[in-house]
Amino acid sequence: MFEKYDVCIIGSGAGAGPVAYELSKAGYKVIVLEKGAWFKTSDFTKDEITATRRSVYTPNTKDEYHILEQKKGDNWKSKSTHVTGYDFWNGNMVGGSSNLMSAYFHRMKPKDFRLKSEYGEVEGANIEDWAISYEDLEPYYEKVERIIGVSGKVVKHRHLEPRSTPDFPFPPLKENIVAQWIDKACKKEGVEVFPTPRGILSESKDSRKSCFYSNYCGNYGCNSDAKGGSRVALLDEAIKTENCTILPLSKVYYLEEKNYKIDKVHYYDINGNKHFIKAKIVVVAAQAIETSRLLLMSKNSNFPNGLSNNSGQVGKNLIFSGGGIGSGTFYEQDLSREDFLSLKKEGLWVNRATQQWYEIDDEKFGKKTKGGTIDFIFEHANGITKAFNQKYNPKGELVYGSELKKKLATYFIQRKKIKFEIFIDWTPNDNCFVSLDSKAKDKWGDAVAKVRLGYHNRDLKIGTYIANRIEPIFKSMGMRNVQTNITGFPPANLQAGGCRFGNNPKTSVLDKDCRSHEVDNLYISDGSFMPTGGSVPFTFTIYANSFRVAEKIKEHLN
């Protein structure tokens, strides 16, 4: 026997949490199916072995992997992530990757919603305007700031987006002295900077504590619950209503359609046994790659190419975040003793960003074009990663013993690395998409996702342009070894697209409410709906849109 639910949600991260939260609070019966384990706050220690050397928060690639397809010369070459050792998974647990985010919560800008109209077409790209406007999403950005908890301070600058509230609900996190140095250097160069808004509590909220300033945030779970992950901010609250059930270790493998509605959601339990769920509404929020994969696996006579895919658009126009990363190093010998000790003080944040080049008006590009966001950060505190990078000398030879000890002591004690991350629009194109591999199978015998990772050279040009303007600022601050890496290889933790929303069923998978054009009771609420991603990290916008979709589902159920 089975219980029939009002809403079945597949996945539990940023795209799923708001739907579960809103619908359960409204009195609807909700079930969440999550492939990963259910970790509690107490499980999230700062153990570097767990976070960086073991497949604890992501699947073991022996059991579950991807086939990544990259261009080599004129040909595309495919390799399994199990063979290469490159793990392309992201947070696989209740709360999804929102447990592990760094939580940079920048809003998209009004122009981001009409990229094609504002800046025109790009040759070799598939840029489209959004089916909604910034004004449609703004109330939900505000809702995220209030419910999830966003800290920061609104500072006026040339690209500040319109707001319905004057400031963030929580004050900025505590800052390291380097934030003042960045302010001073940028002011001298005429560059506007502002405190980075963070989805991290600077003050306690309900049962959640404020930030512990452990300096371990990105790629780590939060042991104070200050970070606004879906689990602590939304799902824990949804469970209190007694209307929300969460089934961890439940891998959905097939959506059974009948009369253009999903009739059953089929899943495996931890022992590989098969079960199914029936619900009035089905919401897929498994993160972009896996969401497309599930629809492509769910073939039948009405949808021979995959569920909701008679348009052929499922899996197409996958996007990531373009850009790259740069760094510079302060050395003890170049600073006063007082300044160096202040710089080395652990736990405090840099928390500075600039959107000076969010729009680029330079004759090098021929016309105005979209630029990006720069966030200034410390090198991650993870000691294993930093130590690992010291094992070679400048000649590329392996060092060990006393020489290695000396290198480690110098690196950890006598210097401090500052980094900058550049976020720009990933240009959607025909060579970035998800399909099913014809041979490779996961541990359940299901076809794994084959991901073609083609990028547009425009992304490298814009990323390099911005980096060339940040590097002189780092040098003016007295940093040495200033360098940048602008790359077309995507970050696995920033993925969207694959099931675009739009008004034309022939060129999109979803309508403006993120409801399938072809399957009446199917919604997709993760980042899959996004035709473009803006020049900011995606999570804040995914949260906001998921709250919006929750309202549409309530209207549907009513």
Containing H/E element for 474? helix 457-476
Task: For residues 445 and 517, state if they share a domain.
Answer: yes
Task: For residues 134 and 172, state if they share a domain.
Answer: no
In this prediction the pTM is 0.97
Mean pLDDT of 416-420: 97
Task: For residues 293 and 250, state if they share a domain.
Answer: yes
Identify the domain containing residue 178 by its residue range.
Answer: 155-196+321-425+456-489
* pLDDT tens, residue by residue, 124-142: 999 999 999 999 999 999 9
Mean pLDDT of 369-386: 94
Q: Which of 474, 489, 504 is the last residue of a domain?
A: 489
Task: For residues 417 and 447, state if they share a domain.
Answer: no
* Conformational region of residue 36, where left means phi above 0, alpha means psi within -120 to 50, and beta covers everything else: beta
Mean pLDDT of 174-193: 98
Q: What angle do CA 147, 153, 154 make, to 5 degrees?
A: 100
Asked if residue 483 belongs to a domain, the reply is yes
CATH number at residue 285: 3.50.50.60
* pLDDT tens, residue by residue, 24-58: 999 999 999 999 999 999 999 888 888 878 888 99
Count of domains in the chain?
2
Asked if residue 215 belongs to a domain, the reply is no
Q: What is the bridge-based pairing of β-strands 30-33 and 4-10?
A: parallel
Q: Check whether 2 has a pLDDT greater than 80.
A: no
Task: For residues 99 and 163, state if they share a domain.
Answer: no
Asked if residue 126 belongs to a domain, the reply is yes
Task: For residues 176 and 291, state if they share a domain.
Answer: no
> What span, in angstroms and rounded, lies between the C-alpha atoms of 35 and 248?
6
Asked if residue 211 belongs to a domain, the reply is no
Task: For residues 463 and 344, state if they share a domain.
Answer: yes
* pLDDT tens, residue by residue, 256-304: 999 999 999 999 999 999 999 999 999 999 999 999 999 999 999 999 9
Q: What is the mean pLDDT of the chain?
A: 96
Task: Please report, for residues 348, 433, 437, 491, the alpha-carbon distance to residue 58 in angstroms, rounded to integers and kept in the order given.
Answer: 28, 22, 21, 15
Contact 432, 317 (CB under 8 A): yes
165 band by pLDDT with thresholds 50, 70 and 90: very high
* pLDDT tens, residue by residue, 514-526: 999 999 999 999 9
Asked if residue 529 belongs to a domain, the reply is yes
* pLDDT tens, residue by residue, 471-523: 999 999 999 999 999 999 999 999 999 999 999 999 999 999 999 999 999 99
Confidence at residue 41, expressed as pLDDT on a 0 to 100 scale: 95
Asked if residue 209 belongs to a domain, the reply is no
Asked if residue 410 belongs to a domain, the reply is yes
Confidence at residue 1, expressed as pLDDT on a 0 to 100 scale: 36
* pLDDT tens, residue by residue, 321-334: 999 999 999 999 99
Asked if residue 210 belongs to a domain, the reply is no
Task: For residues 409 and 466, state if they share a domain.
Answer: yes
Task: For residues 475 and 557, state if they share a domain.
Answer: no
Mean pLDDT of 147-175: 97
Q: Check whether 463 has a pLDDT greater than 50.
A: yes
Task: For residues 301 and 411, state if they share a domain.
Answer: no
Task: For residues 124 and 269, state if they share a domain.
Answer: yes
> What span, in angstroms and rounded, lies between the C-alpha atoms of 355 and 377?
15
Task: For residues 333 and 469, state if they share a domain.
Answer: yes
